[in-house]
Amino acid sequence: MARVTLQTIADRLGVSRMTVSNAFSRPDQLSAELRERVLATAQELGYVGPDPAGRALARGTTGAVGVLLTDSLQYSFADEVATNFMRAVVDELAPTGLALTLLTSHDRDDVVPARDLAMDGALVYSCRPDSSARDWLLRRQLPVVFVDQDPVPGITSINVDDRGGARAAAQHIIDLGHRRVAIITLAVGEPGGPVDDPLAAAVGHPQRQRMLGWLDALEAAGVHPTVVQASANTDDDAIEAARSVLLAQPRPTAVLCFSDVLALGVVTVAEELGSAVPGDLSVVGFDDSPVARRSRPPLTTVRQDVAGKGRLAADALLKAIDHRRSGTKAPVRHRTIPTELVVRRSTGPAPAE
């Protein structure tokens, strides 16, 4: 049986080959009635559409953009903040027809490495600065946008005001009279546990900026916090870190957490130990993710606009890709999205000594 091509369909309908091509790739160029006729004839003849590889070659585009994560790919589906960020990126990309490909910096046989995958550009999201995959993307000179990364010259970055948000959270605790304060932050690719030098251990942009913000307020009040790192932003790691903090002596009266997930772990362990939140222990999260509102009591937390961050990042990447295609230089911008302290019922005055 002869191979069915665009010309085969065009001959059957008595239209030009370009008309048939437009039905698949530029539907806005045809009337709805004509496009339906073309697609129906294509289906009748067993034609499934233009070859993606050939289309990419002709257009000079792969039709895909990458998102690079330091952690496993499962993180993007298990973490609600990451999921909401990805959803916003996908929504922004949808009208363009570009597909989203998840990349990881882990070297595994079943994952296509960032150095080999064909893509038009990439978002580097919450990724270690020493990631080899990040280095490969930059060496390939692809259009790249950094998200939750230290800003660097020549690359557009989208961040939130992590330091300002953390400072507000710590000041809230100080204003409530707390002086025995613990911090549970997040390790990046390292084992968790107590930390002697909080700033030296803060690897990653959000980790360092939030630590700086907490210390801004605490040190100004003469408070020297106990700092513990959770190995990962998961329920199990949150419980482990919370036990490390709440079983220590003297026990803190307030805990500042890198995320709402870690904060919920503190609330859970406090209940196990018979401590009331907020009567005996105040807990503050970060992100204002859905878990903050599901918590009992609802969490005091720092709100960041995760969806807005995703939309800004995707829009910046699309513009960078368009500039690459047109041979023009894309403007570089460093955007910082405001954060907001949201006071709920997980914080209260320090208990009487």
One DSSP character per residue, 45-83 reads: HT---S-HHHHHHHHT--SEEEEEESS-TTHHHH-HHHH
Tell me the one-letter amino acid at 248.
Answer: A
What is the fold of 6-50?
434 Repressor (Amino-terminal Domain) (1.10.260)
Q: Write 247-253 long-range contacts (CB < 8 A, 24+).
A: 247/273, 248/182, 250/180, 251/180, 251/275, 251/281, 252/180, 252/181, 252/182, 252/225, 252/226, 252/281, 253/178, 253/179, 253/180, 253/181, 253/280, 253/281, 253/282, 253/350, 253/351
Q: Which residue has better confidence, 279 or 82? A: 279
CATH architecture of the domain with range 162-304? 3-Layer(aba) Sandwich (3.40)
Q: Are the C-beta atoms of residues 347 and 176 closer than 8 Å to each other? A: yes
User: Mean pLDDT score of the chain, rounded to an integer?
Assistant: 87
pLDDT tens-digit readout, 62-102: 778 888 876 555 555 667 888 899 999 999 988 888 888 88
Helix (H) or strand (E) holding 185: strand 181-186
Strands 301-304 and 339-342: antiparallel
The segment(s) of the chain belonging to CATH 1.10.260.40 are 6-50
- Which residue's structure tokens are 């270690």? 128
Q: Which residue has better confidence, 47 or 12? A: 12
What is the fold of 64-159+311-334?
Rossmann fold (3.40.50)
The segment(s) of the chain belonging to CATH 3.40.50.2300 are 64-159+311-334, 162-304
Phi/psi of residue 334, nearest 5 degrees: -115, 105
Per-residue pLDDT, 69: 79
* C-alpha distances in Å from residue 87, one per residue of 22, 76, 100, 298, 336: 29, 10, 10, 25, 20
Q: Identify whether 191 is preceded by a cis peptide bond (ω within 30 of 0).
A: no
Q: Are the C-beta atoms of residues 185 and 211 closer than 8 Å to each other? A: yes
Q: How far apart are CA 109 and CA 107, in angstroms?
A: 7
pLDDT tens-digit readout, 93-152: 888 888 888 887 655 544 455 666 778 899 998 777 777 778 878 877 889 999 999 999
Q: How far apart are CA 261 and CA 249, in angstroms?
A: 24
pLDDT tens-digit readout, 325-348: 888 988 999 999 999 999 999 999
